[in-house]
Structures are given as C-alpha cells and as structure tokens.
C-alpha cells in the first residue's frame, strides 16, 4: 500500500506522463498531416513502403503471403504487414494512406510510454518525466512516425523489451526471473518479425552481459530464458520458410541484396538498389542455361547470388570495406540529415540542436552505466548493436533513431544525477539509488 506522503509525487509524475503522451501524439499527428498535404503526390516516398502495403493487402485478403502473384514469398517478415492489414479490412481494398500514418503516430506515442516506464524503473520518476518529454519532442522520432515504414512499431517495442529484460535481471525469485526472461525473448521475436535486423540483438546483448555482469550465473540463467523465448517466438516463421525454400531462413531473403548494397564496387554508404535488375537477369540466364539447381526456389538462389558477390568483393577489397565502414558510421551519427531533400537550414538546426545535447548526455550516462552495471548497460547496447550492423550494410540517420530511445533514458539519468549531486554535495548517487529503489518496490 503506497504511503500518503508519496502519493502527491506519484500523481505529479503521472500528470507529466500524460502531458508527454498528449504532446507526442499532437506533434506526430501534425507532422503526419503536414507530410500528407505536402508530399502526397510523391506516393509513399520511400521504396520500402510499397512492399509493406502490398503485403498488408495480401494478409487482409487471406491470400498466400507473397509479394504479388507468384512473387517473392520471403520478401518481408510479416510483423508490420499484419499490423497494417486491419486498415484494409476497415477501409476496403484501396484505403487512404492517412489511417496508416495515424497508426504510426500511435506507435510513436506508445514509444514515449515505454521510455517513461524504463527510465522510471532505472532512475526514478524525475528521470522518467525528462525522458518522456525528450522522446515526445525529439525530431528524429517524430519523423519516424510519419512514413509507412516498420521503424514506428520497431521504436514502440524496443523500450518494452529492454524493460522486461531489466525486470528479469532485478527479480528476486528465479522462477519470476525466468518467466520475465522468456517474455523478453518472445517480445524480441515480435520485434524481429517487425524489423529483421533485430534478430542478433539478443545473442549480442547476452554475450556483453555475461562479460560485464557481476552475477554471471544469474545472467546465464536469464540468457537461457531469453533465448528460449526468442526461439519459441520465431519457430512458426522458421517452419514456414523451411516449407517454402527447403532451407533454414532466419528472417528474409533480402539479406543478400542488403549486403551487396553495402559491399559492392559502386558502394557509397548510402542505399542504391539499381543493381538488382542485373542480378535478376544473371539468375534467369543461369537457370535457362541449366547452370543452377532448380530444386531451390528462384528467390533463394537470387539471395545467395547477391550474398556471394558481396562477400567475394569484400574479401578482395578489405581496405574499401574499412573505408566504407567509417563512411557509414559518419552517416549514422551525422548531426543532420544526409539526404539533400531533408537538409534545409531549418531542418539541420532543429536536428542538431536536439540531437547533439541528447547524444552527449547519453554518452555520459553510458559511462555512468558502466559503473552501475547491468541492466543500465543494456540501455546503450541498441546503439552499439545497430551501429556495428549498419557499418556492414548501409548507413543513415534513419537507423540510429531507434537507438536514441535507450540513449534518451541514459541522458535523463545523467541529468538527474547532476541535479542530485549539486543538491547533496556528493551524496547524489546514494539518494538516486534510494529513490529508484523506492519506485521499484512500489
């Protein structure tokens, strides 16, 4: 039973949360309407959006999950198309795009709630309020709530997975810890089915956690639960892919294309899929000449052809691979958008003025996290993981924005730590820990 003395502070914390949620929804909805009014003539604008839209229509119709009649069957994971499918059921076979944008707005708002809960668990209510407000107004996350892309639900789910993992690590009883760990893995599978690049985050975080944790036996037990949940959640998709191709396909058959996008003679660090028609022609010619095993599907063989071409080029040009990795790193963490269409002075100023302070405070919070240990370190791992991943594939600030959610939590923790340190003359760490403990107990 919460004490009466704590009740006013908690009510104030809830009011700040509702303020952040309303502000996030209003800003994202306004951006969605602005985009629709300004760029509707460009269609979806992003090439990936068309694929999600077509697959969502397929799901709504109850047709085989493939991109067009007799098209690729493992083109995209089904998470985001399944989320879009109800729009077709409600508005008909050719719905307006705006309801899908509103759905992204809701996902973007939901991410604010996840950040608030995670920050509250780790640092207390003050940090949670700061983190929620920062997430609500951060331009990069507002921008991700406008396009028809999987980043919006991706950002909505990440903080909740980190929260579940944190709860598992802090649970007193092994049974509860294992249950929460299993839920973490299942949610990780759901995130992967929305954004396939997330699949290796769980093994990556487990390795880092086992190296840095002070309680390796406990973390190993939790790791087992996380991996069991991940495998449980991914198994239906793996079985379906094996039935389609006769091979184990962990996510999609777009990995080869994505890898060649990052490693090829014309690579610049940005995306350019103009090479795909040439590979399509090569594979069709090889099939006509009887040079390939046609027991494998065309989609599978095409993926392997592009993957092998990327790997061969990388082996022959290791210096270019390193150079491109540096270019991609710079593109991911650039202070303003890389694309000329989004590089107007006002946009650059808005992005830099919000991004750079959060990044610097987040890095400071990450340094403090190393001292605090797991699960504080967990908040920084999405940034590290996504950076390493996209230094291989392609680089864009679009791919850093989901990682900013954990950085914002760390930044809020750093700010609260400063304030407590100033007010207590060195006793800030103790008071901060006590408040977070009180919040967690509640």
Span 74-90, pLDDT tens digits? 999 999 999 999 999 99
Whether the pLDDT of residue 149 is over 80: the answer is: yes
Q: Does a structural domain hold residue 111?
A: yes
In angstroms, the CA 142 to CA 2 distance is 36
How confident is the model over 314-327, as a mean pLDDT? 97
pLDDT at 366: 95
pLDDT at 7: 53
Q: Does a structural domain hold residue 171?
A: yes
Domain that holds residue 385: 7-441
Crossing angle of helices 98-123/401-424, nearest 10°?
Answer: 30
pLDDT at 8: 58
Domain count, the chain: 1
DSSP state of 2: -
pLDDT digits (tens, 9 = 90+) for 328-364: 999 999 998 887 766 778 878 888 899 999 999 999 9
Q: Residues 318, 321, 324, CA angle at the centre, nearest 5°? A: 150
Q: Which residues of 326-344 are buried (b: 16+ CB within 10 A; e: fewer)?
A: ebbbebbebebbbeeeeee
Query: pLDDT band at 437, cuts 50/70/90?
Result: very low
pLDDT at 358: 95
Of 226, 232, 235, 115, which Cα lies nearest the Cα of 180?
226
Q: Does a structural domain hold residue 2?
A: no
In angstroms, the CA 197 to CA 191 distance is 9
Give the residue, 177 or 4, on which the prediction is more confident. Answer: 177
Q: Does a structural domain hold residue 352?
A: yes
pLDDT at 337: 82
How confident is the model over 160-188, as a mean pLDDT? 96
Rounded to the nearest 10 degrees, how much is the dihedral formed by the CA atoms of 201, 366, 325, 248? Answer: 0
Query: pLDDT band at 248, cuts 50/70/90?
Result: very high
44 with 97: CB under 8 angstroms?
yes
pLDDT at 293: 86
Q: Does a structural domain hold residue 1?
A: no
How confident is the model over 219-233, as a mean pLDDT? 96
Please provide the average confidence, as pLDDT, over all residues in the chain: 90
In angstroms, the CA 17 to CA 112 distance is 9
């Amino acid at each position: 039973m919460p004490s009466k003395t704590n009740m006013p502070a908690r009510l104030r914390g809830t009011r700040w949360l509702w303020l952040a949620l309303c502000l996030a929804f209003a800003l994202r909805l306004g951006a969605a309407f602005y985009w629709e009014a300004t760029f509707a003539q460009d269609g979806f604008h992003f090439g990936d959006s068309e694929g999600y839209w077509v697959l969502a229509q397929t799901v709504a119709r109850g047709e085989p999950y493939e991109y067009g009649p007799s098209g690729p069957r493992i083109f995209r994971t089904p998470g985001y198309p399944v989320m879009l499918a109800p729009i077709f059921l409600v508005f008909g076979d050719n719905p307006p795009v705006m309801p899908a944008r509103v759905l992204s707005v809701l996902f973007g708002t939901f991410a604010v709630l996840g950040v608030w809960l995670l920050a509250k668990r780790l640092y207390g209510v003050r940090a949670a309020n700061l983190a929620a407000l920062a997430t609500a107004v951060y331009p990069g996350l507002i921008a991700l709530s406008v396009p028809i892309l999987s980043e919006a639900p991706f950002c909505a789910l990440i903080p909740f997975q980190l929260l579940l993992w944190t709860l598992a690590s802090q649970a007193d009883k092994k049974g509860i810890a294992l249950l929460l760990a299993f839920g973490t893995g299942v949610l990780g599978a759901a995130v992967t089915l929305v954004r396939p690049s997330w699949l290796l985050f769980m093994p990556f975080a487990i390795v880092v956690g086992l190296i840095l944790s002070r309680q390796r036996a406990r973390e190993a037990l939790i790791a087992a639960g996380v991996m069991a949940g991940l495998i449980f959640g991914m198994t239906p998709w793996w079985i379906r892919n094996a039935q389609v191709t006769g091979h184990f396909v962990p996510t999609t058959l777009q990995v080869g294309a994505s890898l060649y996008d990052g490693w090829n003679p014309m690579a610049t660090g940005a995306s350019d899929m103009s090479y795909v028609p040439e590979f399509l022609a090569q594979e069709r010619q090889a099939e006509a000449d009887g040079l390939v095993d046609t027991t494998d599907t065309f989609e599978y063989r095409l993926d392997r052809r592009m993957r092998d071409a990327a790997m061969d080029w990388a082996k022959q040009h290791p210096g270019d691979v390193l150079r491109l990795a540096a270019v991609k790193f710079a593109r991911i963490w650039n202070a303003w958008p890389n694309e000329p269409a989004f590089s107007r002075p006002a946009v650059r100023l808005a992005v830099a003025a919000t991004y750079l302070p959060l990044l610097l405070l987040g890095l400071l919070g990450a340094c403090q996290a190393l001292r605090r240990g797991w699960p504080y370190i967990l908040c920084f791992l999405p940034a590290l993981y996504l950076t390493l991943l996209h230094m291989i594939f392609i680089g864009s600030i679009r791919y850093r924005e989901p990682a900013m959610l954990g950085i914002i939590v760390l930044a809020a923790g750093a700010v609260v730590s400063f304030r407590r340190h100033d007010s207590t003359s060195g006793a800030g760490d103790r008071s901060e820990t006590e408040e977070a403990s009180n919040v967690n107990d509640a």
